[in-house]
Structure 1
Amino acid sequence: MSKGTPNTRTFNGDTKDVVQMEDAAKHLPRVSSDHEKQVQESRPLDVDPVFSLREQRKIIHKVDKRLVYVLGLMYCVSLMDRVNLPNAAISGMNVNLDMNKRIRYHVKSTVRLVFFITYTPFQPSATILTRKFGPRLFLPGLCVAWGAVMVGFGFVHKWITLIPLRLFLGLLEAGYSPGYVYLLSAWYARYDQQRRSSLFYLLSLAAAGASGILAYGMSKTDGLAGHAGWRWIFIMYGIITMMLSVLGYSLVVDFPGRCKQKKHWGFLTDDEIDFIMASQANNIRGHWKRAFTSATLIEFGGIGGIAGSLMFRTRDVPKYHLAVYLSLAFNFLIVILVCINTVFFRYENKKADRGGKVLEGDVNFRYTI
Structure 2
Amino acid sequence: MSSTTNTDTENPARRSRMYASKEDVFISESNGIIDSILDEVTPQEKKKILRKIDWRVTILVGILWCITLIDRANLGNASIAGMTQDLRLNVGMRQSLVGLIEFPFWLVFQATLPYAVKLLKPRIIISLTGVLYGLLTLGQGLVHSWHGILGYRMALGTVAAYQFPTIGYFITIWYTRYEVQKRFSVSYFIVEMSSGFSGLLAYGLMHMKGLAGMNGWRWINIIEGLFTVVASVIAYLLLVDMPDGDGKREWRFLTPRERRYVVARIDADRADAKQDSITLKKCAAFCLDSKLWGFAFIHLLNTAISSGLIYFLPLILRGMGFSVGVSQLLNAPPYFAAGLWCCATGWASDRQRLRGPYIVLNSLLCIMGIPLLGFAKPLGLRYFGICLACMGSKANTPASMAYTANNIRTHSKKLASVTVLIVGVCVGGVMGALVFRQQDAPKYHPGLYTCVVASVMSCVTVGVMTAKFVRDNRRADRGKLVIEGHVDFRYTY
TM-score by length of 2: 0.64
Contact kept? 2:205, 2:219, Cα under 8 Å = yes
Partner of 2:66: 76
Shift of 1:48: 2.2
Gaps of 5+ in 2: 1-8, 10-14, 273-408
Shift of 1:343: 3.1
Shift of 1:304: 0.8
Q: 1:336 to 1:186 in 2, by over 3 A?
A: same
Partner of 1:95: 85
Matches within 5 A, 1:179-190: 179-190=166-177
Shift of 1:344: 2.5
Q: What are the superposed Cα offsets for residues 234-262 of structure 1, whole Å, 9 maximum, x if unpaired?
A: 0111112112212211221011232x332
Matches within 5 A, 1:166-315: 166-258=153-245, 260-264=246-250, 267-281=253-267, 282-284=270-272, 285-315=409-439
Query: What is the CA–CA distance in structure 2 between the aligned matches of 1:350 and 1:266, rounded to whole Å?
Result: 44
Q: What are the superposed Cα offsets for residues 92-138 of structure 1, whole Å, 9 maximum, x if unpaired?
A: 112222444xxx12222222221112122322422321221112222
Amino acid at match of 2:253: F
Q: 1:9 to 1:296 in 2, by over 3 A?
A: same
Contact kept? 2:21, 2:487, Cα under 8 Å = no
Partner of 2:142: 155
Query: What is the CA–CA distance in structure 2 between the aligned matches of 1:200 and 1:6, rounded to whole Å?
Result: 36
Contact kept? 2:132, 2:159, Cα under 8 Å = yes
Partner of 2:29: 22
Query: What is the CA–CA distance in structure 2 between the aligned matches of 1:217 and 1:175, rounded to whole Å?
Result: 31
Q: What are the superposed Cα offsets for residues 253-279 of structure 1, whole Å, 9 maximum, x if unpaired?
A: 011232x33255751011111111112
Q: Which runs of 4+ in 1 moved over 6 A?
A: 5-9
Q: 1:5 to 1:142 in 2, by over 3 A?
A: farther
Query: What is the CA–CA distance in structure 1 between the aligned matches of 2:419 and 2:120, rounded to whole Å?
Result: 18
Q: 1:316 to 1:238 in 2, by over 3 A?
A: same
Partner of 1:64: 54
Query: What is the CA–CA distance in structure 2 between the aligned matches of 1:364 and 1:310, rounded to whole Å?
Result: 45
Query: What is the CA–CA distance in structure 1 between the aligned matches of 2:257 and 2:189, rounded to whole Å?
Result: 33
Within the candidate set 32, 36, 40, 1:50 is matched to 40
Q: CA RMSD in A?
A: 2.5
Shift of 1:142: 0.7
Shift of 1:78: 2.6
Same amino acid, percent of matched pairs: 34
Query: What is the CA–CA distance in structure 1 between the aligned matches of 2:25 and 2:420, rounded to whole Å?
Result: 20
Shift of 1:306: 0.8
Contact kept? 1:351, 1:357, Cα under 8 Å = yes
Which range moved further: 284-293 or 311-320? 284-293
Q: 1:74 to 1:263 in 2, by over 3 A?
A: closer
Is 1:4 the equivalent of 2:40? no
Shift of 1:29: 2.5
Q: What are the superposed Cα offsets for residues 38-81 of structure 1, whole Å, 9 maximum, x if unpaired?
A: xxxxxxxxx82321123122212211100111111121223222
Contact kept? 1:189, 1:280, Cα under 8 Å = yes
Amino acid at match of 1:322: P
Contact kept? 2:23, 2:486, Cα under 8 Å = no
Contact kept? 1:5, 1:26, Cα under 8 Å = no
Aligned partner of residue 105 in structure 1, secondary structure: coil
Q: 1:336 to 1:169 in 2, by over 3 A?
A: same
Q: 1:196 to 1:294 in 2, by over 3 A?
A: farther
TM-score by length of 1: 0.84
Aligned partner of residue 178 in structure 2, secondary structure: helix
Contact kept? 1:127, 1:178, Cα under 8 Å = no
Matches within 5 A, 1:82-121: 82-100=72-90, 104-121=91-108
Amino acid at match of 1:184: I
Contact kept? 2:107, 2:426, Cα under 8 Å = yes
Contact kept? 1:190, 1:283, Cα under 8 Å = no
Which range moved further: 281-290 or 303-312? 281-290
Gaps of 5+ in 1: 12-17, 31-46
Partner of 2:465: 341
Shift of 1:10: 5.5
Query: What is the CA–CA distance in structure 1 between the aligned matches of 2:186 and 2:198, rounded to whole Å?
Result: 18
Shift of 1:26: 5.8
